[in-house]
Amino acid sequence: MTIAVVGLAAVAAVFTVFSKPSPVRALDNGVGKLPFMGWNTWNAYHCEISESIVLDNAKLIKSLGLLDAGYNYVNIDDCYSEKERSASGDIVASKDRFPSGMKNLTDQLHAMGFKAGIYSDSGWFTCQLYPGSYQNEDRDIQLFQDWGFDLLKYDNCAVPFDEVIKEGMVGKYARMAGAIDKLSKRTGKPPMLFSLCQWGREQPWLWARRFGQSWRTTDDTGPDWGAIRSIINQNSFYSWAADFYGYNDMDLLEVGNDGMTFEESKSHFTAWALMKSPLVISTDLTKATNETLTILKNTELIAIHQDPIVGTAVTPFRWGINPDWTNNFTHPAQYWSGETQDGVVFMLINVLDQPADMFFSLTESPWIRAGRQYSVRDLWSHTNNGTAVRNMTIHNVPPHGVAALLLKDAGDEPAGIQPPCARPEWCMDQNGTRIDQ
């Protein structure tokens, strides 16, 4: 009886903490102000993982300069455990794949300067049918903390029957958020970073910020331009939702995996970085080429991704070849801009299969001031490219390629530029003469 009452009180506490409508403010529990960066086992290895694979890649993240560039989480995805819990009910690390045990592994990762991430599922099983954490949330998060992990990726497979769970997706994810919160309060340790992997069902950009620091918005990506452009298209409709402590997760990076051209991989990385998705390398770094490292180490894009002053993402200001707001998975929005602490960043994506010139008027972006000129920094050639007045044309953007530009205010535009308003609609002289008619 007493136990039941305590249980009810705990449920009520979770409900009041996490179910209060708070659509604007993200959960600020001290971790995850900026989108996280790191490496994850899944895209390169799927279930074929081991402690040596994790450690070999960790050593390379460090020796290749990727840790210095900001990739500081090393995360294990699905398939790290035995299929059965122990007699006492705990998840057991796979004796074949992780023979030295998880604590040994996270100790080594921490000694190298990394944080460590683990994976579980909000249902009965993980997607590969290892134990899930449903009804074991408190026990499992305690174990993950005891193992030394700092981050939990939480998947969406094996959903319990309605008559069991009596919750929707919001309630299902609230359970682990409550367990993380309780563990942190009990132990005084920082809460584990909570990376929700709910694939964009039931619009997690509306509610997941109450629970964690990032939420997947789509199905899994793939190492091909078709997957990348489709994810860019979907996220174009909710890239407004990113800000400090709460980010759309566009899924693990495919940079380095076979299937994309250099230009496509640059577009992929640019979109993920400027849309403030977590940047999580998921390739076999023993095979990383110079092109792969050139992309992953674009420090100018990473600096915007990790901007400590501005947490918002780029959003489209014009779709381009399709009318604005067109939902088209092969031809997503092409003209994007966003605020940064250093200026206005533009991302232009050529969705065509041939090179294209891309033109825009500066004040199409809401962040540009009328009557000013802007210095142009190219974030891929890493060069200063003169001054833009009123508009810009980027010539010969490669097929599926990208231009990433940082425009900084460079003072008043030259006198006498015509027409008197760059945006002519309802442009009027002080004497009452309308100019746009």
Catalytic residue among 138, 155, 181, 251: 155
Nearer residue to ligand NAG within complex by CB, 138 or 263:
263
Instruction: In whole angstroms, give the CA distance from residue 27 to residue 422.
Output: 40
Which C-beta is closer to ligand NAG: that of 141 or that of 403?
403
Least separation in angstroms between residue 404's CB and ligand NAG is 9
Task: Write out the residues near ligand NAG by the rule CB under 6 A.
Answer: 100, 104, 107, 290, 321-322, 328, 330-331, 378, 381, 383, 385, 389-391, 394, 403, 417, 429, 431, 433
Judged by beta carbon, residue 83 or residue 423, the one nearer ligand NAG is 423
User: Shortest approach of ligand NAG to residue 16 CB, angstroms?
Assistant: 42
Would you say 142 or 328 has its CB closer to ligand NAG? 328
Q: Are 208 and 169 within 8 A, CB to CB?
A: no
Asked if 347 and 412 count as a contact pair (C-beta separation under 8 A), the reply is: no
Do 135 and 171 touch, CB atoms closer than 8 A?
Answer: no
98 CB contacts (<8 Å, ≥6 apart)?
50, 51, 80, 105
Q: Secondary structure of the chain in the HEC alphabet?
A: CHHHHHHHHHHHHHHHHHCCCCCCCCCCCCCCCCCCEEEECHHHHCCCCCHHHHHHHHHHHHHCCHHHHCCCEEECCCCCECCCCCCCCCCCECCCCCCCCHHHHHHHHHHCCCEEEEEEECCCECCCCCECCCCCHHHHHHHHHHCCCCEEEEECCCCCCHHHHCCCHHHHHHHHHHHHHHHHHHHCCCCCEEEECCCCCCCHHHHHHHCCCEEECCCCCCCCHHHHHHHHHHHHCCHHHCECCEEEECCCCCCCCCCCCHHHHHHHHHHHHHCCCCEEECCCHHHCCHHHHHHHCCHHHHHHHCCCCCCCCCEEEECCCCCCCCCCCCCCCCEEEEEECCEEEEEEECCCCCCEEEEEEHHHCCCCCCCEEEEEEECCCCEEEEEEECEEEEEEECCCCEEEEEEEEEEECCCCCCCCCCCCCCCECCCCCECCC
Residue 12 or 417 with smaller CB distance to ligand NAG: 417
**In the complex, least distance from residue 385 CB atom to ligand NAG, rounded to whole angstroms:** 4
Respond yes or no: is residue 77 known to be catalytic: no
CB 69 within 8 A of CB 292: no
CA distance 238 to 233: 10
| Distance in Å, CB of 414 to ligand NAG, minimum | 8
CB of 328 to ligand NAG, least distance (A): 4
Of 242 and 376, nearer to ligand NAG (C-beta) is 376
| Annotated catalytic residue 409 | no
Residue 325: CB minimum distance to ligand NAG, A = 13
Closest CA to 150 of 85, 252, 76, 54: 76
Question: Which residue in 219, 220, 243, 342 is the catalytic one?
Answer: 220
Rounded least distance, CB 376 to ligand NAG, Å: 7
Measured from the CB atom, the residue of 12 and 370 that comes closer to ligand NAG is 370
Cβ distance to ligand NAG smaller for residue 178 or 316:
316
Shortest separation between residue 150's beta carbon and ligand NAG, angstroms: 18
Write out the catalytic residue numbers. 155, 220
